[in-house]
A and B are shown apart, each in its own frame.
Chain A
């Protein structure tokens, strides 16, 4: 498998987009820390950028890469190689390259300006989101044959997770404002990796006190060791479930 991952990585690095992405993250991170003067403020701004940009770049880049690798995949699928090895290699190559970009582009500045638990949490959340959205992108790509439609689906998924979902949850909260929704909110948060990532990082900061009663409940639950383990488990599930489904579909797909 690693022989194939090597060629997938080689293919990705030929494309200068990942290098540009790394440089962009580096510039944004350094810029935000320097502009805000204070590390915590910089972290909050950086968190917002991370939650929007890493899912977007991961899902779009992975989708485009997968469609461009059609030839490579067809060539190898006729060789004595398991189909599942092929798709896992694509996943590991993409996830590896994008994780590396995040570790350099966000990890280095954060470690320089805010080397604490919050900083490490932010880096881990950025990595988890990148990996999840690679998995989601691959699932969308194996399900749609047409490249233009595939990229459209990827954009829609990002739009849903990054923007639309919050609006839906807010709408629900206002509609059912008379009911105790705190426990339900925990479930809603777990159903969107971007929101879960945001809450996990915010809870590490002092400003979580501003989040009201729901915030207090989150703190009570997600602030504990079990809560962290739960969040880590849910974020891993957001990577594992889509990629396992993608492998299943790809094994029976007509090339």
Chain B
């Protein structure tokens, strides 16, 4: 469904992505893991067309997406740090995105809007919101158009435990519907719950890309964090 071939991007001397080639299918939920600065967010931004890769190709449903824009209607994106126009009210942000993107769409997925009781703070200006509340807005917007691909960059960072649980349940429900989900996080227990595969990046290079179950059986560990630790130890030797 989603395929990247030899995707590369450098910022000056820093290689943020180095020949990344992966294929992802509908129904997969992929964890993007790697140390800070390993290229996770750059990969996501390339996928969204926010960053233009230097070379390589990206395809969605076998159609090249680099340089095009219409494919973005299939993607819901929750950024790491949601940045919104300061003076706009929460309700206005929703109205604007709906107006701009929702043309022709009759049904919106407002499960999260209900669960987070967005109506209660819809009149507040975006600049007055706390970081966690902004994340709730970002999450609602990502799911609103019922997209086939969900890209969640550090989704649970900043959310309170209850909001975090609500989001995880929603992700699992969407995964059950056969969507492709990409998640980056540093909270491995969350990833273990949500995802089926691990894509591990270091310095922009793919270290491995495997189903979690296979990873665990290979290393003989039962927990994802232990399995990863064991692989990293092996590589260090």
Q: Known contacts being A70-B83, A254-B51, is A78 close to B69, with CB within 8 Å?
A: no
- Report the Cα distance A187→B45, complex, angstroms: 46
**In the docked arrangement, what's the CA distance between A71 and B81, Å?**
11
Closest residue on chain B to residue A79 by CB atoms: B101
Highest count of chain A CB atoms <10 Å: which of B52, B72, B73, B100:
B100
A156 at the interface (CB under 8 A from B): no
User: Judging by beta carbons under 8 Å apart, are A77 and B97 in contact?
Assistant: no
Residue from A7, A11, A75 within 8 A of B83 (CB atoms): A75
**In the assembled complex, B48 has its CB within 8 A of some CB on chain A:** yes
Q: Is B123 in contact with chain A by the CB < 8 A criterion?
A: no
Closest residue of B by beta carbon distance from A83: B69
B51, closest chain A residue (CB) = A254
B103, chain A: closest CB distance, angstroms: 9
Instruction: Please measure, in the bound complex, the distance between the C-alpha atom of A252 and the C-alpha atom of B66, giving whole angstroms.
Output: 11
Inter-chain contact A71/B96, CB cutoff 8 Å = no
Taking a contact as CB atoms closer than 8 A, the residue among A3, A72, A78, A255 that contacts B72 in the complex is A78
A80→B83 contact, CB < 8 A? no
B49 to chain A minimum Cβ distance, whole angstroms, is 7
User: Number of contacting residues on A, CB 8 A?
Assistant: 23
Judged by a CB distance under 8 angstroms, whether B86 is at the interface is yes
The reply on A108 being an interface residue by CB < 8 A is no
Contact of A71 among B45, B73, B85 (CB under 8 A): B85
> Is the beta-carbon distance between B100 and A79 smaller than 8 angstroms?
yes
Of chain A, the residue at the smallest CB distance from B151 is A78
Q: Say whether A14 faces chain B, with CB atoms less than 8 Å apart.
A: yes
Chain A: which residue is nearest B99 at the CB level? A3
- How many residues of chain B are within 8 Å of chain A by beta carbon? 26
| Interchain CA distance A255-B48 in the complex, whole Å | 11
Give residues 70-94 of B contacting A (CB, 8 Å): 70-73, 75, 77, 79, 83-87, 93
* Option from B49, B52, B87, B97 in Cβ contact (under 8 Å) with A14: B87
| Residues A80 and B52 in contact in the complex (CB < 8 Å), given A3-B100, A14-B87, A72-B85 | no
Measured between beta carbons, the chain A residues less than 8 angstroms from B51 are 254-255
> CB-CB < 8 A to A76: which residues of B?
100
Whether B52 and A252, one on each chain, are in contact in the complex, defined by CB atoms closer than 8 angstroms, is: yes
- In the bound complex, CA of A74 to CA of B48 (Å): 11
Instruction: Select the residue from A3, A7, A77, A79 with max chain B CB neighbours within 10 A.
Output: A79
* A69 interfacial by beta-carbon distance below 8 Å: yes
Nearest CB to that of B48 among chain A residues? A78
Q: Is the CB of B52 within 8 A of A254?
A: yes
Q: Which residues from chain A contact B86 at a C-beta distance below 8 Å?
A: 71
A73-98 near B? 1/0 per residue, CB < 8 Å:
01111111111000000000000000
Shortest Cβ distance from residue A127 to the other chain B in the assembled complex, whole angstroms: 28
Find the B residue at minimum CB distance from A15.
B87
Within 8 A of B (CB), among A94-125: none
Identify which of B45, B69, B77 contacts A81 (C-beta below 8 A).
Answer: B69
**Contact among A71, A79, A252 with B97 in the assembled complex (CB-CB below 8 Å):** A79
Q: How far is the CA of A83 from the CA of B100 in the complex (A)?
A: 14
Which of chain B's residues have a CB closer than 8 A to the CB of A173? none
A4 beta carbon closer than 8 Å to chain B = yes
Which of chain A's residues have a CB closer than 8 A to the CB of B84? 71-72, 75
Contacts of A77 in B (CB 8 A): 48-50
Judging by beta carbons under 8 Å apart, are B85 and A11 in contact? yes
Contacts A/B (CB < 8 Å), 20 sampled: A3-B99, A4-B100, A7-B96, A11-B87, A69-B85, A70-B83, A71-B85, A72-B84, A74-B83, A75-B93, A77-B48, A78-B50, A79-B97, A80-B69, A80-B72, A252-B52, A253-B52, A254-B50, A254-B51, A254-B52
Other contacts beyond A78-B79, A80-B73: 16, CB < 8 A: A4-B100, A11-B85, A14-B87, A70-B83, A71-B83, A72-B84, A74-B79, A78-B50, A79-B100, A81-B101, A82-B69, A83-B49, A83-B69, A254-B45, A255-B45, A255-B50
